[in-house]
Amino acid sequence: MNDWKLAKKREDEIYLASAVHFLLQGGDEEAARLLISCESETWREHDQQYGECWFVRLRGSRQFYDTFTDYKHPAHEAIDLAFRAVLPRVDSGYEGHCVVIQPHASLVEVDTDWRVKLLADAETGDTHNQNSYNSKPIVYAGMRFSSPPEVEIAKALDNLGVMYLPNCLTRVGSTGNRQNRFPDFLICYRGKWGLLEVDGQTYHSGRATEDHERSRLIEKHGGIAYFTRFDAQRCMKDPEGVVQEFLEILGSK
């Protein structure tokens, strides 16, 4: 990918993250959850009726698509307002600020046996080994997350091409006292394994004791070179910095 495309992708991510942050500041958590599951593309274009307009193409989950195409749903208006708030103003004949949002369903990665895999998914239904402790998980890249900061960390790890297991069922404990635990991120980097947990009352209220016990049980089995927690607000605002700091320490172990 050339430098221009990288810069454009970065700009699109900034607009998307800013829109999600705007929604969270306004208490529109449902709309934020829907939007953070999306991939976005933004561009300016001249419209014959309104003049200069911003266009935003959003690709997201089935839940996002169904919700946003329901123009009476509060999340539709909230997401529309968020992009009007964060995108730079343009000169147009439209009263206020011309922003056109185009909702689309996410595209899936395919290989030669994609039919077999999707048929297997259909037959197994909701059976999976990933945590679903939140009644309305955020779906990003086919994975479930409980909070926007977790999704931002996942995106940062994806951008660096790092192997990770998010919110996956882990079987731990001594014989006769086996337990299920779901670490936020189990990360493999340069042949070393580390645990990254997202903390903060804003998103993980009341889970501090549970998180500590979960991590302690996993560490007792050995093989974990580094374990740490990061504040949820920092993960939301600076996910790249969080991941870089984590990987630098894990790589030095």
Domain boundaries, the chain: 3-105, 128-252
4 to 15, 17, 53, 58, 71: CA distances (angstroms): 17, 20, 22, 21, 35
Model pLDDT for residues 226-239, shown as the tens digit of each residue: 888 999 989 998 99
- Averaged pLDDT of the chain: 82
Residue 182: is its pLDDT beyond 60?
yes
Q: So what CATH class is 3-105? A: alpha beta
pLDDT score, position 165: 92
Q: Quote the strand ranges of 10-162, DSSP E.
A: 39-47, 51-60, 99-105, 138-140, 143-145
pLDDT score, position 46: 80
Domain 128-252: give its CATH superfamily. VSR Endonuclease (3.40.960.10)
pLDDT score, position 78: 95
pLDDT score, position 187: 94
Beta-bridged to residue 227, according to DSSP, are 195
Contact 164, 250 (CB under 8 A): no
Beta-bridged to residue 189, according to DSSP, are 192
Identify the weakest region by mean pLDDT among 12-16, 98-102, 112-116, 192-196. 112-116
Separation of alpha carbons 99 and 77, rounded Å = 12
Of the segments 101-115, 145-159, 165-179, which one has the largest average pLDDT value?
145-159
Q: Regarding predicted confidence, which is higher, 242 or 178?
A: 242
Beta-bridged to residue 100, according to DSSP, are 55
Model pLDDT for residues 114-164, shown as the tens digit of each residue: 776 666 666 555 545 566 555 677 888 878 888 889 999 999 999 999 999
Q: What is the pTM of this model?
A: 0.60
